[in-house]
Amino acid sequence: MSEADPQRDDLITTLEEAVQAGMPHAVADLTDLVRIPSVSWSAFDQQNVERSADAVAALLRDLHVFETVAVARAPIGAGPDQGQPAVIARRAARDGAPTVLLYAHHDVQPPGKDEDWDTSPFEPTVRGDRLYARGAADDKAGVMTHIAAIRALTEAAGSEFDLGLAVFIEGEEEFGSRSFANFLAENKESLAADAIVVADSDNWSTDVPSLTVGLRGNVTFRLTVSTLEHASHSGMYGGGVPDAMMPLVRVLSSLHDSDGSVAVKGMTSHEAEVPEFSEDELRHDAAVLDGVSVIGRGPVLSRLWNQPTITVTGIDAPSVANASNTLLPSVAVRISARVAPGQRARDAFEALSRHVRENVPFGAHVEIDEVDLGDPFLVDTSGWAAVEAKAAMKDAWGADPVEAGIGGSIPFIADLVREFPDAQILVTGVEDPDTRAHSPNESLHLGVFRRAILTEALLLARLNRRGR
């Protein structure tokens, strides 16, 4: 639809100039934010998270487009503990224009050991075209993308534009978003929107943008297999009665086909085109040992984004050093599965637990507990917001965006979908494959930063015209 807009080229040029002129300001503000070590983990000084929230609120107030800007908290679960401070802002839509909610988080991961960093983690440093520091990308650059995009919008449209805006800058994304669901429920009216931009993901490369359209969900649980009331001498009874390890190993081996893909009936895959990515690249990126093959079938990125996977991530059994010659009565493992987009986590869990009970041999007793479920997420890319976002990416980057999946999970997205079922959700970001979020030497590519700001400014400016 933007193709038919006669002012299209003018708008791009105006915003390009505004974003370019605003870059020193955006980088300076980002640098100031990054200097505040706002680690949300409870072992760190929480005053820094408060300072960081106040700094973000001041930047939002300085835009002079919001009717309200506030720092707020919500209880964790049923309380009484409060979550970390978030920042919310809102301006009402005018003349039938839509409202967009802009999400990012101002808290950061712990920096890890100083000696693993080439420069101090909270002293932002530019080397080449990258800005290095904890939070320089994840996700203070997401915060600044929203702020700089609104600045560019006001350059192009003045501060009396029609678009409704809501802003939610979370303060504990890196610490499990523990008060997120309560926060949404308590601030539902302030945050309600027609489209939600979650600026906390990455891009295909520094030259090619991504719109994240799929996220796998997760299922984890403890599986305990038992065969005997107590341990027995393995010489006396071995060969006559089953120890717990044997049926456990047999049932675990039934979870996968011989090529390593999931063999559980009822765990589904998502059908979607994926970009080309070779097994060699996968081997290299994941540091696979010489001679070890990769697993699964179908296109490589479909295995990572659109198919389920099951992994054993822990085991409770005697250690090798303490192993005695006994038949083990009981063994427990932690199962961690990823759920393909399009399937509910609850349904995947039921398929998996049914498979375990049906395939455990010798009538061994099975117990499943400590269940944790997170739903996957799939964007409807035919929605108007996704169509506009992809067009804005193409115009800002000069390259078609990749519709990307993410193998991991962003559990709070499910909370957003639950609270705002009618809103379209756009997952964008300022990271690239060399960002190293959560790791030493995290960095932001400044060209990606500029293109991300221009993309969002274009998106907001075009949505601003939609209401007319």
Taking the complex as a whole, the smallest distance from the CB of residue 200 to Zn ion amounts, in Å, to 4
Q: What is the CA radius of gyration of the chain?
A: 25
Taking the complex as a whole, the smallest distance from the CB of residue 14 to Zn ion amounts, in Å, to 31
Give the contact letters, 384-403, x = binds to Zn ion (CB under 5 A), - = no: --------------------
Sole window of 136-144, 148-156, 268-276, 400-408 interacting with Zn ion (rule: CB under 5 A) = 136-144
Taking the complex as a whole, the smallest distance from the CB of residue 105 to Zn ion amounts, in Å, to 6
Say whether residue 107 binds Zn ion (CB under 5 A).
no
Tell me how far apart the alpha carbons of residues 106 and 121 are, in angstroms, rounded to a whole number: 16
The crossing angle, in degrees rounded to 10, of helices 8-34 and 446-466 is 130
Say whether residue 138 binds Zn ion (CB under 5 A).
yes
Residues 69-98, interacting with Zn ion (CB under 5 A): none
Q: Write the burial class of residue 259 (CB in 10 Å: 0-12 exposed, 13-18 middle, 19+ buried).
A: exposed
Nearer to Zn ion, 15 or 437 (CB): 437
Nearer to Zn ion, 29 or 200 (CB): 200
Tell me how far apart the alpha carbons of residues 135 and 417 are, in angstroms, rounded to a whole number: 26
Question: Which residue from 29, 107, 139, 202 is in contact with Zn ion, where contact means CB under 5 A?
Answer: 139
Sole window of 123-131, 133-141, 160-168, 308-316 interacting with Zn ion (rule: CB under 5 A) = 133-141
Nearer to Zn ion, 175 or 221 (CB): 175
Buried b (16+ CB within 10 A) or exposed e, 337-359: bbbbbbbebebbbebbbebbeeb
Residues 161-220, interacting with Zn ion (CB under 5 A): 200
Nearer to Zn ion, 143 or 340 (CB): 143
State the DSSP H helix or E strand holding residue 164, giving kind and residue range, or none if neither. Answer: strand 164-170
Nearer to Zn ion, 79 or 408 (CB): 408
CB 148 within 8 A of CB 26: yes
Nearer to Zn ion, 29 or 139 (CB): 139
Residues 253-312, interacting with Zn ion (CB under 5 A): none
Tell me how far apart the alpha carbons of residues 452 and 343 are, in angstroms, rounded to a whole number: 31
Tell me how far apart the alpha carbons of residues 197 and 385 are, in angstroms, rounded to a whole number: 9
Tell me how far apart the alpha carbons of residues 415 and 428 are, in angstroms, rounded to a whole number: 18
Q: What share of the chain is helix, strand, coil (3-state, %, to 5)?
A: 35, 25, 40
Chain residue whose CB lies nearest Zn ion = 139
Tell me how far apart the alpha carbons of residues 84 and 46 are, in angstroms, rounded to a whole number: 8
Taking the complex as a whole, the smallest distance from the CB of residue 150 to Zn ion amounts, in Å, to 20
Nearer to Zn ion, 163 or 197 (CB): 197
Nearer to Zn ion, 270 or 445 (CB): 445
Sole window of 138-146, 147-155, 366-374, 457-465 interacting with Zn ion (rule: CB under 5 A) = 138-146
Q: Which two tokens stand for residue 223?
A: 């599986």
Say whether residue 431 binds Zn ion (CB under 5 A).
no
| Residues that bind Zn ion in the complex, under the rule CB under 5 A | 138-139, 200
